[in-house]
Chain A
């Protein structure tokens, strides 16, 4: 079945860039997402990219998609302590989103 893989942990220093990587298996994925989960809270959508795009930039966030390698990355520029959270990569092959497949989440630690 479909699968989304990502590293479980990433540690960076405040002010550095963070790069969180993700690979997925479903070649029919149409929508690819990054969600952020802060402690004790639900998931919040950070950004998403359509499969016909290579890159999307939104302020400090840059999403890169390599569709050939089924690789998605999220770069956070000038990482701040407030960026410490779990980041989930997710993919969906269709509209509606209810069959979205989530990765296990990457826990980002930001050291002051």
Chain B
């Protein structure tokens, strides 16, 4: 059972570089989202999507872009990485029953 798959698991970037975190789910979920996890702050919503072609901003969207060209994929792009974006990133998908399924996380360090 693949569930939600995120890549890469670890990444080090230099300030100003761009990169894309990939996320794919094989459960045919309509809803997908990206969170970042920082110490003592829980999970904060970056962007989310309610279906292919539809995205919206979450709580902390600045510096990130998303797209949803297919139901399965929801990539997160860092346009110009900053040290403040050092975090653990989780992709998630959910069904109408409201259970959220998380990927295993992507550890990003910006130096």
Contacts and interface: CB of A to CB of B under 8 A. Distances in A.
B105 A42 contact: yes
Give the interface residue-count category, chain B.
20 to 34
B73 interface: no
B48 A98 contact: yes
Looking at chain B's contact residues, the main secondary structure is strand
B42 A97 contact: no
Contact of B42 (A31, A45, A104): A104
A5 to B, nearest CB: 10
A31 B95 CA distance: 14
Interface string A82-108: 000000100010011111101111000
A98 B31 contact: yes
A10 interface: no
A82 B92 CA distance: 25
Give the interface residue-count category, chain A.
20 to 34
Interface of B: 4, 30-33, 35, 40-45, 48-50, 58, 90, 92, 94, 96, 98-105
A31 to B, nearest CB: 5
Contacts of A95: 96, 98
A106 B101 CA distance: 20
A110 interface: no
